[in-house]
Amino acid sequence: MTGKLRPGEKLVQLQLAKKFDVSQNMIREALFELKEYGLVETSDNRGMFVRSLDARGIQEMLVIREIFEGVAARECCGRMSTKDASKLRKLADDILDVTLAGKHEAKIALDREFHLEIVRLTDSRILMMWAQRYHFLGKVVGNARTIGPEETWRGHNAIIDAIMAEDRNQAEEAAREHVRAAWPNLEESLVSGTCAIVWLTQNQCSDEHGREGSAGKRRHK
């Protein structure tokens, strides 16, 4: 996620086992898990490599997340208590505060906690399973979101309001709109090369051999 392992870089199990001081079996299991998350890919039986994630991949993840968050909010209707709502509103307030304070990592962690809490309240084992599966991809999307903190706060509270009103259609739409709100600014940042994701930025500006491509050079100019 930090770019220390570049897109396309081969992941050698023995080297990783020595680096993290664990068994190769543990590394193998971790790599297969990361493959399920979409961060690692295999290539013609040559081994595992860091997945190249481009703008299209980010957009595809946003589409999936929009659907997922909408279903979760819809299924949460009729299950959220006043106490649950207060907890979520407190989280929304905390997200606003840490964002305004420039605490980016804290903001991402709290934002994920907010959305996971909604999934938890659905009491759906399937939704919880999928929420865990897209943990890392959710982090990528979290880093990619470039909408303002106040707009994020309003989006979170709109979701809570609709769920508490037990309006399933409005709850789903509010959750989906919350995800869609990131699209315009994200697309603009990808085009301009100002996206804050190190992993994505390096991939955008480099070819498969790690050399800067012409598109990347134009953006840097």
| Residue 198 domain-assigned (yes or no) | no
pTM, rounded to two decimals: 0.70
Neighbours of 144 (CB within 10 A): 22
Distance CA 198, CA 185 (A): 17
pLDDT at 39 over 50: yes
pLDDT at 216 over 50: no
CA of 188: how far to CAs of 25, 185, 194, in Å?
A: 42, 5, 8
Count of domains in the chain?
A: 2
Q: Which CATH number covers residue 46?
A: 1.10.10.10
Domain span at residue 127 reads 55-186
One domain for residues 48 and 59: no
What pLDDT, on a 0 to 100 scale, did the predictor assign at position 190? 63
The side-by-side arrangement of strands in the sheet containing 40-42 is 10-11, 48-50, 40-42
Largest CA distance in the chain: 55
Nearest alpha-carbon partner for 162 in 174, 180, 178: 174
H-helix segments, the chain? 13-20, 24-37, 55-76, 82-100, 104-122, 125-133, 135-144, 149-164, 168-180, 183-192, 198-204, 214-220
Q: Can you tell me whether residue 205 is helix, strand or coil? A: coil
One domain for residues 61 and 129: yes
Extract the tokens encoding 77: 């209707």
**pLDDT one-digit tens code per residue, 139-193:** 555 555 557 899 999 999 999 999 999 999 999 999 999 988 877 766 666 666 5
